[in-house]
Structure 1
Amino acid sequence: MPSPLGPLDGRPFAAVVFDMDGTLIDSTAVVVRSWIRWAQEHDVDPRRLQGFHGVPAAAIVAELLPGPRHQDALRRITELELADTDGIEVLPGAAEALAALAPAHSAIATSCTAPLAAARIEASGLKAPEVLVTADDVERGKPHPDPFLLASRRLGVDPAHCLVVEDAPGGLAAARAAGCATLAVVTTTPREELGDAADAVVTDLSHVVFSRTGGGVLVSPAPPGSR
């Protein structure tokens, strides 16, 4: 019977780079509340917010409100998101995945700014890896490859030997552009929208097990009944 992980099963990786929101933590309600309020305050049709999941806030604001209103609008969404962390939770399997890869075989590459990433990590209680790449660290965020290229460089590994775990098409595109292998989780995006963009797709991180061997990091299907 074919493995649900396809070409990823049994392939050794030097490290794993995780997206944060929607991959390791559930912040969907917070994100929706903040951006809906922002849209209402700035006379932006909330329907225009669709399709931006995983894109840095600065790029979203620049697309929706170019020109002289940009800086004030960006400052406002930053305020709203930093002020609202109620209900953020660690997603299934996320803590176990990071623990299995600690201390030096994983990183987070997020479209959040550094202050927002810190606030959400603290609110979730997640024990984050030492390498954390945020929107403040790169000139171009996802869907450009820069976040994953920087994460792999800070880990000291070749991007071609990295596995990226993502929940959004834009993040998967960024990982592919960086030359990384990709594993998608179906936490915020329908499976049919992820299949062609990823090497493999699973429901969430509780469906896989990460292990470290002499040859590197392996990802395998979780045993039946373990979830």
Structure 2
Amino acid sequence: MADNDLLGSLAGRTFAAVLFDMDGTLIDSTPAVERSWLRWAAEFNVEMTSFGTWHGIPAAQIVPKFLPEEQWEAGARRIEQIETEDTEGIVVLPGAAEALAALRPSGRSAIATSCVSALAKARIAATGLVPPQVLVTADMVPVGKPDPAPYLLAAQQLGVDPADCLVVEDAPAGLTSGRQAGAACLALTTTHTADQLEAEAIVPDLSAVQFVVTEAGVQVQAR
């Protein structure tokens, strides 16, 4: 398939860096996430049949939707504990390891995740994924996705303009974060259908593309 057919306006563009989401983009943690939140809901007597609506949003921003203010801190602390302890079945998604490996020597990549640091490190360790040097977690920013803060911080730590970056995401909240940061977006249909995603290009997963580093920056091409 020609790059223009798959990648639209991203074809031929050169980016200063590629900023990846983690869950649903680089790794598949959906079963563990569902188990953890349903366990949390049962413990706090919260009605929740599925976590899907909240995918891509930090736990600390979800808990207040279900609990009174006096329980926010305890609720957030508990879901973080449950999730950090449950890494069973978490796997690397197709093309993710190759994408990170292609970009790693150049230092032109980062991860911006809605996980807190301990959870992100637990999931990375469980999969054996080798992350880039820059890892932005939810506890590093005042507010997480869909706010642009995570991607703005990732670009800042790489020393690049976010408007010159490509954000790779699977969730509407993350794509909103990337767009509001000024970045171009590549969406993956790993957790949502294409009609739920708004991006310059939409592909099934990272195995559909490859990242090529040049002296000028990074280009994304169709495989």
Q: In which range does the TM-score fall when normalised by the shorter chain?
A: over 0.9
Matches within 5 A, 1:123-138: 123-138=126-141
Tell me the residue number matched to 2:85. Answer: 83
Give the CA deviation at 1:30: 0.4
Aligned to 1:94: 96
Matched, 1:112 2:144: no
1:53-202 matches, within 5 Å, as: 53-103=55-105, 104-194=107-197, 197-202=198-203
- TM, length-normalised to structure 1: 0.94
Q: Partner of 1:85: helix, strand, or coil?
A: coil
Partner Cα distance (2:65, 2:113) in 1: 19
Q: 1:70-129 CA distances to partner (integer Å, 9 max, x unpaired)?
A: 111111111110110011110000000001101301000000000000000000100000
Q: Contact 2:34–2:50 at 8 Å: present in 1 too?
A: no
Equivalent pair of 2:38/2:50 in contact (CA under 8 Å): no
Comparing 130-139 with 65-74, which one deviates more in the overlay?
65-74
Contact 1:112 1:134 in 2 (8 A): yes
Maintained 8 Å contact 1:3/1:221: no
Q: How big is the shift at 1:49? A: 4.0
Q: Is the 8 A contact 1:61 1:73 kept in 2?
A: yes
The answer for the alignment partner of 1:211 in structure 2 is 212
Structure 2 residues not aligned, in runs of 5+: none
Taking only aligned residues, the RMSD between alpha carbons, in angstroms, comes to 1.1
Q: Distance in 2 between matches of 1:49 and 1:127?
A: 27
Structure 1 position 3, deviation (Å) = 2.1
Greater Cα shift, 32-41 or 1-10:
1-10
Distance in 2 (CA, whole Å) between partners of 1:100 and 1:59 is 34
Query: How many residues were matched structurally?
Result: 220
Segments ≥4 residues shifted beyond 2 Å: 47-50
Residues 16-60 of structure 1, C-alpha deviation per residue, up to 9 Å, x if partnerless?
000000000010000000001111111111147442110000000
* Corresponding letter in the other structure for 1:123: A
Alignment of 1:22-33 (within 5 A): 22-33=24-35
Match of 2:17 in 1: 15
Residues in 2 aligned to 1:5 and 1:21: alpha-carbon distance in whole angstroms? 22
User: What TM-score comes out, normalization by structure 2 length?
Assistant: 0.96
Q: Mean Cα displacement is larger for which, 5-14 or 44-53? A: 44-53
Counting only pairs closer than 5 Å after superposition, residues 35-46 of structure 1 correspond to structure 2 as: 35-46=37-48
What CA distance in whole angstroms lies between the structure 2 residues aligned with 1:74 and 1:4?
40
SS in 1 for 2:146: coil
Q: What is the rounded CA distance, in whole Å, between the counterparts of 1:61 and 1:133 in structure 2?
A: 21
Q: Which stretches in structure 1 are left out of the alignment for 5+ residues?
A: 223-227
Percent identity, aligned pairs only? 58
